[in-house]
Homo-oligomer: A and B are copies of this chain.
Amino acid sequence: MIITSTLARIHLIAILIVMSTFAWASDPLPSWKDGQTKTRILQFVATVTDQNSEHFVPPAERIATFDNDGTLWSEQPVYTQLSFALDRVKTLAPQHPEWKSQQPFKAALENDMKTLSASGEKGLLELVMASHSGMSTDTFTTLVLEWFQQAQHPRFNRPYTETAYQPMLELLAYLRNNEFKTYIVSGGGIEFMRPISESLYGIPPEQVIGSSIKTRYEVKNGNPVLTRLGEIGFINDKAGKPVAINEHIGRRPIAAFGNSDGDQQMLEWTGASQGARLMMLVFHDDKEREYAYGPANGLPASSSGHFSQNLMDKAKKNNWTVISMKDDWKTVFPANN
């Protein structure tokens, strides 16, 4: 009995050793083409996890932050959250007959993106408030989950959750396997992303930071609820990102990933501390497989996402890596289920 059990233990140990060797030997980033970009990621992780390196970082301080729209998933032809808002306005329209003649709702109901775009930030804000507030946080979560279950991306004909980028999903998992804590730091709504962040990205709700609208705690018929108010709480974009990172995490990231001018300050803040740091920008130059947009691409500015020439210059000056979707990624989206 003792001998059998000892043999079983040795066998188990052998299996564990083989498994871990295999995990290290296999490519952790199979959807990334070999080249400078991939090498830079691998070298950075090797350095900060090497106890003998002067740039070793203890696991508790391995914070990596990711923008969401255009960095982890597609943001074209419009932000996914705007699609949600437009669909929700259509659902609510029967209760609001006045919307038929009132902008920006008229444009939303008629899919008139040109007029909608012309309504500017003020118009978009009206749409967001009409579609995102006036209910409890629990109800909003349910609405978001129901929408994701049925909505389809207009070009790729797949659920929006399947417009996440396969190489970035691999990168998230690779960092976590190396004891990084991965965070989303997005201009998108915090409560729009949280219901799907865990199943989609493996990122739990407490590691999602986003823009928010104010909530109020109230006891309704003896039942405590958080009611979503028609008032902006925080805009998590540009200089707001380091502010929110400090407020939510209280540590400075050692790696940051973005794709637009809204991410510049997050990358600056990440890069401005001592030690090995990794700052990367996803560049949308792949019209065939996804989209190509942005002035730095020699292409017109897009309503969602904005990679300016100024940002490209900053990236060069600061030695931030620009990820070419066309050249650095073998595949863009996960295989269809």
Binding site for B on A (CB under 8 A): 6, 9-10, 13, 60, 137, 181, 190-191, 194, 198, 204-206, 208, 212, 215-219, 223-224, 226, 233, 239-240, 242-243, 246-251, 265, 268-269, 272
Contact = CB atoms under 8 A, between A and B. Distances in A.
Given A9-B13, A246-B137, A246-B226, A239 B217 contact: yes
Q: How many copies does the complex hold?
A: 2
B269 A242 contact: no
A217 B242 contact: yes
A242 B265 contact: no
A244 to B, nearest CB: 10
A194 B246 CA distance: 11
A110 to B, nearest CB: 35
A208 B246 CA distance: 11
A301 to B, nearest CB: 24
A251 B215 contact: no
A224 B60 contact: no
- 10 tightest Cβ-Cβ pairs between the two chains A and B: A205-B250, A217-B239, A217-B242, A224-B272, A206-B249, A194-B250, A224-B268, A224-B269, A215-B243, A226-B246
Given A205-B249, A216-B239, A217-B240, 9 more contacts: A194-B250, A206-B248, A208-B250, A217-B269, A219-B268, A224-B265, A224-B268, A224-B272, A226-B246
A248 B248 contact: yes
Contacts of A272: 223-224
B216 A247 contact: no
8 contacts: A9-B10, A190-B250, A206-B248, A215-B246, A217-B240, A224-B268, A224-B269, A248-B248
- Among A13, A198, A224, the most chain B Cβ lie within 10 Å of the Cβ of A224
Nearest to A251: B205
A137 B204 CA distance: 27
A251 B141 CA distance: 11
A122 to B, nearest CB: 24
A274 to B, nearest CB: 12
A184 to B, nearest CB: 11
A121 B206 CA distance: 32
